[in-house]
């Protein structure tokens, strides 16, 4: 006897009893047209304008976490853009967004553990595997999609992220009214879920002072930011409780600071700070005022930001670029999918022949993707270094290529902060400037005074002692140096 199945009825029953097997939680946008433009074109254009206007100083390391405001873009968007501009095209694959709970009170962290968030710029999938690592280990860390309903602190960060990053997932978290112990437990679970990954970004979403006195806003925000800059998460937590500091997402910031310390971060930089009274030019007592800050938490950049495959790829691009130009007089047409090589980064390309310098030109500024910087600097080192005649095609086979990938410049107020062999140095005075790469100190065996004196005299056209003058600016940077002369590892 054959069993007959009523297929439509079967599917209805299956969907009824196993809805979770098919359903995916899609969070629709709630604040388009209120906190930011609802239309795709208008929203995209507004963020482009904000990013273009933002002029953050370079930071001495990799950004592990941002503290970013979450008011309407017309109020805090320009401040938020300072942080987001610095992470543009960075290879983050998971972004943990620690939002503030404005409406639902609880001690702990509520996760949006599956599905996606929508904006007019597209869909952002939740990193469900990451969220799964967080759940079931602590009763104060749980999944609760209702905590995100009517809550803007996560949503307003999403369009900025969509404009500056690609191919990433999110972990939305609402941090409640937490004790310090709970903040520590949340941070520890996040740390364990991150493990050894280097492609995770944390965004703590918070505004600062709320009140009717712009002068008090400045004073209170100074206290709050001082705790943040010192990474004093315990002091910040107690100051928030005592209302000596103010931040509606303060406990999210506390979690971010604890996690950052646990992950080895050691420096914090305030990129921009303002308030709504300044933005609206209504800087008078009695005017409702909210403070905004963009803050970067940094993990010092060390050796090894490029793997062997990426180094070989850059060296091949450099050699192919020189060969193409010497044969055709045109730039090499090259596209690179690797997100690390697509980061905006400065670089120098050095050419050596029989152990002697044959050309060296570079760019200190991160004006374009690293692989394009290498392409262009390789050609310039070959044909435009005024110290040498242009390289001939028949010479290329005997040329060793060395690439120095550079970190951003960091100004220092004293030569004492320069470490020979680790830091490259830029000296600037008036219209004169010069640069030595880190390896110059190693190759010459100079003392620090000899290094700086030769930098001033040889590279900047200054008196050898000019580095001691108060008017002279000193900048340091680090470099990852590799050559095709080195044996394969």
Nearest to 66 by CA among 259, 325, 243: 259
What share of the chain in percent tops pLDDT 70? 93
Rounded average pLDDT over 373-393: 96
Looking at residue 24, its pLDDT comes to 58
Query: E strands along 11-121, which residues?
Result: 26-27, 62-68, 94-100, 109-111, 116-119
Tokens found for residue 453: 């004196």
Domains of the chain: 19-299 (3.40.830.10), 308-483 (3.30.700.20)
Q: Which residue has the higher pLDDT, 219 or 287?
A: 219
| Cβ–Cβ under 8 Å, residues 54 and 18 | no
What are 292's strand-pairing partners? 274
Q: Please, what is the average pLDDT of the chain?
A: 90
Q: Where are the alpha helices (DSSP H) in 384-430?
A: none
pLDDT (tens digit, 9 = 90+) per residue, 204-213? Answer: 999 999 999 9
Neighbours of 317 (CB within 10 A): 21
Q: 40-53 and 73-86 are packed helices; what angle lies between their axes, rounded to 10 degrees? A: 60
User: Quick one: which H or E segment has residue 223?
Assistant: helix 214-229
Looking at residue 318, its pLDDT comes to 97
pLDDT (tens digit, 9 = 90+) per residue, 242-292? Answer: 999 999 999 999 999 999 999 888 889 999 999 999 999 988 888 899 999
- What is the value of pTM for the model shown? 0.65
Q: Which residue has the higher pLDDT, 365 or 16?
A: 365
Neighbours of 129 (CB within 10 A): 11
Q: Is 471 exposed, middle or buried (0-12, 13-18, 19+ CB in 10 A)?
A: exposed
pLDDT band at 96 (very low <50, low <70, confident <90, very high): very high
- Is pLDDT of 304 > 80? no
Looking at residue 417, its pLDDT comes to 87
Phi-psi region of 161 (alpha: psi -120 to 50; beta: other; left: phi over 0): alpha
pLDDT band at 159 (very low <50, low <70, confident <90, very high): very high
CA distance 194 to 187: 10
Rounded average pLDDT over 352-359: 93
Looking at residue 11, its pLDDT comes to 43
Nearest to 141 by CA among 168, 181, 195: 181
Please tell me what DSSP assigns to residue 344.
B
Looking at residue 137, its pLDDT comes to 92
């Amino acid at each position: 006897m054959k069993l007959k199945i009523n297929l439509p009825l079967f599917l209805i029953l299956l969907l009824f009893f196993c809805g979770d097997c098919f359903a995916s939680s899609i969070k629709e946008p709630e604040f388009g047209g209120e906190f930011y433009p609802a239309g795709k074109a208008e929203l995209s254009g507004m963020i482009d304008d904000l990013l273009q206007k933002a002029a953050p100083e370079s930071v001495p390391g990799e950004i592990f976490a941002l503290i970013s405001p979450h008011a309407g873009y017309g109020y805090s968007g320009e401040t938020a853009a300072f942080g987001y501009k610095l992470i543009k095209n960075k290879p983050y694959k998971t972004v943990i967004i620690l939002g503030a709970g404005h409406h639902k009170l609880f001690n702990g962290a509520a996760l949006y553990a599956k599905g996606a968030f929508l904006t007019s710029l597209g869909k952002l999938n939740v990193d469900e595997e990451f969220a799964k690592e967080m759940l079931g280990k602590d009763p104060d860390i749980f999944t609760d999609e209702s905590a995100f309903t009517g809550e803007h602190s996560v949503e307003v960060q999403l369009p900025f992220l969509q404009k500056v990053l690609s191919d990433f997932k999110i972990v939305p978290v609402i941090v409640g009214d937490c004790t310090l112990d709970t903040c520590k437990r949340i941070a520890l679970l996040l740390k364990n879920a991150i493990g050894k990954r280097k492609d995770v970004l944390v965004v703590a979403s918070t505004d600062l002072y709320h009140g009717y006195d712009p002068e008090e806003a400045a004073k209170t925000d100074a206290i709050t930011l001082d705790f943040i800059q010192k990474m004093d998460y315990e002091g910040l937590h107690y100051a928030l409780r005592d209302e000596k500091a103010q931040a509606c997402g303060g406990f999210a910031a506390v979690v971010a600071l604890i996690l950052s310390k646990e992950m080895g971060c050691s420096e914090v930089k305030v990129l921009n700070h303002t308030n709504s009274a300044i933005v609206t030019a209504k800087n008078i007592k009695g005017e409702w005022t909210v403070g905004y800050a963009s803050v970067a938490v940094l993990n010092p950049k060390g050796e090894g930001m490029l793997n062997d495959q990426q180094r070989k790829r850059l060296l091949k691009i450099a050699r192919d670029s020189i060969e193409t130009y010497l044969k055709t007089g045109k730039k090499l047409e090259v596209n690179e999918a690797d997100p690390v090589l697509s980061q905006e980064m400065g670089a120098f390309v050095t050419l050596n022949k029989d152990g002697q310098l044959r050309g060296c030109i570079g760019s200190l500024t991160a004006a374009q993707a690293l692989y394009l910087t290498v392409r262009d600097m390789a050609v310039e080192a070959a044909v435009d270094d005024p110290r040498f005649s242009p390289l001939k095609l028949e010479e290329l086979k005997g040329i060793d290529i060395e690439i120095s990938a550079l970190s951003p410049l960091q100004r220092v107020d004293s030569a004492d902060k320069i470490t020979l062999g680790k830091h490259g140095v830029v000296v600037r005075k008036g219209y004169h400037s010069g640069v030595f790469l880190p390896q110059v100190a190693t190759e010459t065996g100079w003392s620090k005074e000899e290094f700086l004196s030769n930098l001033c005299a040889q590279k900047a056209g200054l008196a050898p002692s000019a580095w001691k003058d108060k008017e002279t600016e000193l900048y340091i940077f680090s470099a990852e140096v590799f050559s095709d002369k080195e044996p394969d590892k």
